[in-house]
Amino acid sequence: MPERLPTYFLSHGGGPWPFMKEQYGSTYDVLEASLKDIPRQVGAKPAAVLVVSGHWEEREFTLSSGREPGMIYDYGGFPAHTYRVQYKAPGAPEVAERAAALLAAAGQAAELDPVRGFDHGTFSMLYPVYPKADVPVVQMALKHGLDPLAHLEAGRALAPLREEGVLIIGSGLSFHNLRQFGPAGRQASHAFDAWLRFALLDLPPEQRTAALLHWDQAPYARMAHPREEHLIPLLVAYGAAEHEPAARVYHEEEFFGNLAVSSYRFGEAAAP
């Protein structure tokens, strides 16, 4: 494991997809392969994972602090067995308290929630990464208002966790307009995805930061993200590794037949 872990913005797919292989067939094969490769990139097993979930918002930044988090089945219309899925990773109260202290020291109000369970932005994404559920997990809520700068600054505040063995993951989706899944979303998803790739991989750090803070000026931004809760986790992951190189670790041009979607790593991977 490197001395400073990389951070990630991961497109987490839809609902409980890892538990629906029979229904989805090969739809998620490329995404699943990218997620399964993350342990190799990280190296040794991290002390904990901090997941910034696009499915949890609170008045202030809030961290799950229970030792045995339960499950939140925050989806509808899926087969009955997907409401019995269990991902029994332990919580990490000490990591939650450390993260809250870092946020507070940076002037960001932070709270602890001892009863919050894992939503599908966490368990569906982490199941292919750590299928044994043997890495402690803390979830962090987005802050109401979804202000890009506040979330960038939260990432900056949390950066020391990377040197303490904590893997920071922003869990969302690079294109999230459910009404445009399919042919109607092709143009918007491809244009926004191309902009995101350019911003993260080609711009120097200062311009990269400015571009992300003004993401809503990107081509087709509001068609790609009518509401940006699935994009803002990117700002936290990026803020924690702001001046480090980015790499695209997942990309598809024809997700669900028509959509361009991607995931990114910030910081160096472990040596082979």
Rounded to whole angstroms, the Cα distance separating 59 from 145 reads: 9
As a whole number of angstroms, the distance between CA 264 and CA 183 comes to: 25
- 131 in a structural domain: yes
- 166-172 vs 110-113, strand pairing mode: unpaired
Please give the structure tokens belonging to residue 242: 């702001």
pLDDT, position 95: 98
Q: Is residue 13, in this structure, part of any structural domain at all?
A: yes
What is the number of structural domains in the chain?
1
Domain hosting 179: range is 7-266
Residue 256: the pLDDT is 82
Is residue 1 assigned to a domain? Answer: no
Residue 135 belongs to a domain with what CATH number? 3.40.830.10
Give the pLDDT confidence of 170-229 residue by residue, as tens digits: 999 999 886 777 777 799 999 999 999 999 999 998 899 999 999 999 999 999 999 999
* 272 located within any domain: no
Is residue 223 a part of any domain in this protein? Answer: yes
Q: What is the pLDDT of residues 120-130, one digit of tens each?
A: 999 999 999 99
Using one digit for the tens of pLDDT, what is the confidence trace for 109-162? 999 999 999 999 999 999 999 999 999 999 999 999 999 999 999 999 999 999
Nearest to 234 by CA among 253, 217, 248, 254: 248
Alpha-carbon gap, residue 269 to 243, rounded angstroms:
15
- Is residue 2, in this structure, part of any structural domain at all? no
- Judge whether residue 2 has pLDDT over 70: no
Q: Which residue has the higher pLDDT, 180 or 263?
A: 263
Give the model's confidence band at 5: pLDDT under 50 very low, under 70 low, under 90 confident, else very high.
very high
Rg (C-alpha) for the chain, rounded Å, is 17
Structural domain includes residue 185? yes
